[in-house]
Amino acid sequence: MLSLVAPGAPLADGQPAKIAQNRPASARRRELLLGLAGAPFAAWATTDPTAGLQRWGSGEFRRFGFLVYAASLWAGEDPLRPPLALQLTYKRNIAGAAIAEASVKEIRQLGLADEATLARWGGLMAGLFPDVRPGDAIIGEYRAGSAIFHFNGRLLGRIDEAAFARAFFAIWLDARTSAPDLRAALLQRGSDRG
């Protein structure tokens, strides 16, 4: 294991740091390179954002009569507070930029951020959300202070901003949502519709 402490510098316990200087530089370099090589793969690790959560409700979102996506909610005892996970399984081809734009529009209608913040959040989402095809699923995971996104079982990324996370999930869960029927379906405990 490599240490970033200078040789002989005291540690928290007052003892001098011990550096394995008797190992050849090539061995230390190899450890560093192996550690760095594995870092990109950690971002693609498969995780289950619904682990430890209970299945709540599900429903469909339609626009102008066309089915856009099916939604399912997992949460703890209170489906309006983190931790929770919302899965959207798309039924149409939609560009990632259009998903970001629609999200900004919904947050704007809820009055949850000023225009400068909405523009910044829109840019973050546009850089994160992929283009989707029928059958693709994005799961948004709302954890304390952050929103974590998964696409077809792989980690997409995260936005570590509590105000963003609250506003993003309010699109579906706020009482003022533009889709009150979907909200009602999501908040039905153990529902298996959609």
pLDDT digits (tens, 9 = 90+) for 50-88: 999 999 999 999 999 999 999 999 999 999 999 999 999
CB 17 within 8 A of CB 28: no
Residue with tokens 């993003």: 168
Hey, which residues does 16 pair with through a beta bridge?
10
Predicted confidence (pLDDT) per residue in 152-167, tens digit: 999 999 999 999 999 9
pLDDT at 42: 45
97 or 21: whose pLDDT is higher?
97
Q: What is the second-level CATH architecture of the domain 54-186?
A: 3-Layer(bba) Sandwich (3.50)
Over residues 120-144, the pLDDT tens digits come to 999 999 999 999 999 999 999 999 8
pLDDT, residue 47, reads 75
For all residues of the chain together, what is the average pLDDT? 83
Cis status, amide bond into 83, omega within 30 of 0: yes
CA dihedral 145, 187, 56, 188 (to 10 degrees): 170
Q: What is the residue extent of each domain of the chain?
A: 1-42, 54-186
Residues 93/110, Cβ–Cβ less than 8 Å: no
* Cα gap 5→157, rounded to integer Å: 31
In this prediction, residues 115-122 reach a mean pLDDT of 98
**pLDDT band, very low/low/confident/very high, at 189 (cuts 50, 70, 90):** confident
State percent of the chain over pLDDT 90: 72
Q: What's at 117, amino acid-wise? A: T
DSSP helix/strand/coil, 154: strand
Q: Which of 80, 49, 67 is nearest to 186 (CA)?
A: 80
